[in-house]
Amino acid sequence: MIDIKNVSKSFGTKKAVDDIRFQVPSGSITGFIGPNGAGKTTTIHMMTGALGIDQGEILLNGIDIAKNPIQAKREFGLVPDSPDLFLRLSAREYINFMADIYQIDQSLRNQRIGQLAKDFQIESDLDQPLSSFSHGMRQKAIIIGALVCDPNIWILDEPMTGLDPESAFLLKEKMKEHAQKGNTVFFSTHVLEVAEKLCDQIVIINKGKICFDGTLDSLKEKFPNQSLEEIFLEVISNA
């Protein structure tokens, strides 16, 4: 579970995130949607401790990311907004680096790396440098780096970007399985069809403020006979 309590963040005079408050429950998939510049990545950076919080607090399974960052970071795996990281490492070196941080036993990690690389069809490329990978292949390596550690909370910033349809389908299935086991899945997306099909909960952010936070069913009850795209456009235009 992720608990965002009255969180704000400014860059100079620009208030990127303005007193937001919502919970991401365990056992479900929560989609985080909003237009460009709405504050999604800033919120995710604060959740994961990459960015300091000006006001408020964020708890990951009850652990405060600002007060106990090391302990809190053990609770989640992150797929960041850009996969262009550690480009001099091979995919295997990168994934092992992630597994080292989370202290995953060698035989268990080898088993997971083998299975995930097979699932995402990058087995034959594991020992090539990430710099030689296409965008989608880098995205797959970053996803495997997060999943190999089997964290309770998944935080995914536009995770489907660049993935081929087969891998996007596989990731969505893995997100569902992870949530069904009682874990927490939080992801941002601009693809509203994906959010509509996948999410139990929806959080809509615009201009740094939360416009809606609740179940997809309750959102659809409020706006009957409308697609998520139509609802989104209406909510955003009224914000």
Chain residues in the site for ligand ATP (CB under 6 A): 11, 14, 16, 34, 36-42
What's the length of the chain? 239
Q: How far is the CB of 172 from ligand ATP (least distance, A)?
A: 20
| For ligand ATP, the closer CB: 95 or 163 | 163
* Identity of the residue, 36 or 237, whose beta carbon is nearer to ligand ATP in the bound complex: 36
In the complex, minimum distance from the CB of residue 58 to ligand ATP, in angstroms, rounded to a whole number: 15
Assess contact for 95 and 147: CB atoms under 8 A: no
CA dihedral of 233, 235, 163, 27, whole degrees rounded to 10: -150
SS3 assignment, position 229: helix
Separation between Cα atoms, residue 218 and residue 201, nearest integer Å? 9
Q: Taking the complex as a whole, how short is the minimal distance between the CB of residue 23 and ligand ATP, in angstroms?
A: 20
- The least CB distance from residue 202 to ligand ATP, in Å, is 15
Are 162 and 84 spatial neighbours (Cβ–Cβ below 8 Å)?
no
Whichever of 4 and 104 has its CB closer to ligand ATP, that residue is 4
With 0-12 / 13-18 / 19 or more C-beta atoms within 10 angstroms meaning exposed / middle / buried, residue 52 is exposed
Of 225 and 237, which CB lies nearer to ligand ATP in the complex structure?
237
Nearer to ligand ATP, 41 or 201 (CB): 41
Residue (44 or 95) nearer to ligand ATP, CB = 44
For residues 79 and 172, give the distance between their C-alpha atoms in angstroms, rounded to a whole number: 14
Smallest Cα–Cα separation from 20: which of 239, 222, 212?
212
From residue 209, how far is each of 20, 24, 33, 67, 141 by CA, in Å?
6, 16, 12, 24, 33
- Least distance to ligand ATP from the beta carbon of 222, Å? 23
Shortest Å distance, C-beta 45 to ligand ATP: 8
